Amino acid sequence: MLNSPTSLINRSVAAVLPYVPRPLVWRISRRYIAGVSLEDAYRVIRELNQLGAMATLDVLGEDVTDPDQVTGYRDLYLQALRDIADQGLDCNISVKLSEMGLRFEPERCLEIMAQLADAAAERGNFVRIDMEDSSVTDQTLDLYRRLRESHGNVGAVIQAYLRRSRDDVEDLLANDIAHLRLCKGIYVEPAEIAFKAPQEINASFNELLKLLIDNHAEKVGIATHDPALVSHAKRLIAERIVPRERYEFQMLLGVAEPLRDELIREGHPVRIYVPFGEHWFAYSSRRLRENPAIAGHVIRGLLRPG
Ligand code: FDA
């Protein structure tokens, strides 16, 4: 698969992207990123709410190494939680732990996450901990377990491509803290720890979803744009008569909008992931370098009328 013409094109696009002028990259990225400021994000979230979708807000940034920058990100999220409540938006927050200093100040990271969870709880809101690459899977799940001892309004993410995920899900179910977003996984991981073939990843996704639903997980976020996985999930939800408060479909801003609209029309709860922030350019370039398969979406974006 790595040497297919498509993957070669994808890798070439990913390699040159950092040298493409920012306005052009912005033309492509603006479909997937709400803008640079909180106000930009609120405008997009309001539109999504009007369409019948909920949202989750993501301040772009990761692998922060400066404690002051961590404080800055924390304050942005605290501000967002206040504004979301004041403006009556239907939106929670998604946070990357490496943005909150996980890699260099893990205890402070836990304190900050507790602060965010407190601020969310005061307003009846919720904090999702995004899952990053496999170098922090254990640390992320450990922090999640510790946070759940004191905060019920926090959830984690499970990546279907990781071979360990079945064990993780079983453990979280056994501890009654399975408030989970299930996704395929976006990072490039070695075959020893991750399924590589698309059909294996999809089989794992379907199996984990079934496990979560059959064991009455607290809540499942079904995060995919893959029509086959969405159809499978819809069948399972109908068969098991899963109540609305136990699941939601989740999608990324600007992706698979017809499928999103279909789910909304059918009455399923749908939440859209809304990334925004000053660091959109660095973030987009890095994601593309790391996982050139995403470049295929960029090519399609370029071909789309502006
Ligand atoms: P797949 O990659 O097969 O895509 C199916 C179809 O969707 C494609 O053919 C294409 O048309 C479209 N599509 C998918 N992604 C697109 C994109 N970026 N731009 C344009 N079109 C696209 N991962 C992770 O490791 N940790 C996390 O915390 C999260 N969080 C998360 C939240 C939410 C709400 C979503 C939807 C996804 C994530 N992910 C994630 C990313 C996830 O792991 C996965 O990489 C992407 O969702 C793509 O996988 P699909 O299941 O959509 O299938």
Band of pLDDT at residue 62, cut at 50, 70 and 90: confident
Mean pLDDT of 83-93: 98
Residue 270 in tokens: 């749908």
| Per-residue pLDDT tens over the stretch 241-289 | 999 999 999 999 999 999 999 999 999 999 999 999 988 877 777 666 6
| Per-residue pLDDT tens over the stretch 142-186 | 999 999 999 999 999 999 999 999 999 999 999 999 999 999 999
Number of the ligand 1 atom closest to the C-alpha atom of 187: 25
Give how far the C-alpha of residue 170 lies from the chain's centroid of Cα atoms, to the nearest Å: 21
Does the beta carbon of 257 sit less than 6 angstroms from any atom of ligand 1? no
Does the beta carbon of 185 sit less than 6 angstroms from any atom of ligand 1? yes
Mean pLDDT of 78-105: 97
pLDDT of residue 168: 98
**Whole-Å CA distances, 115 to 85, 120, 122, 178, 259:** 16, 9, 11, 21, 36
pLDDT of residue 196: 97
Q: Cα–Cα distance between 194 and 235 in angstroms, integer?
A: 27
Does the beta carbon of 223 sit less than 6 angstroms from any atom of ligand 1? yes
Q: How far is the CA of 150 from the centre of ligand 1 (A)?
A: 31
Q: Tell me the pTM.
A: 0.92
Residue 88 backbone zone (phi > 0: left; psi -120 to 50: alpha; other: beta): left
Does the beta carbon of 284 sit less than 6 angstroms from any atom of ligand 1? no
pLDDT of residue 2: 40
Q: Cα–Cα distance between 132 and 140 in angstroms, integer?
A: 8
Mean pLDDT of 201-214: 98
Does the beta carbon of 252 sit less than 6 angstroms from any atom of ligand 1? yes
Number of the ligand 1 atom closest to the C-alpha atom of 94: 28
Q: Does residue 306 carry a pLDDT above 50?
A: no
Which residue out of 225, 255, 259, 262 has the highest number of ligand 1 atoms within 8 Å of its CB and is therefore the one to mutate? 225
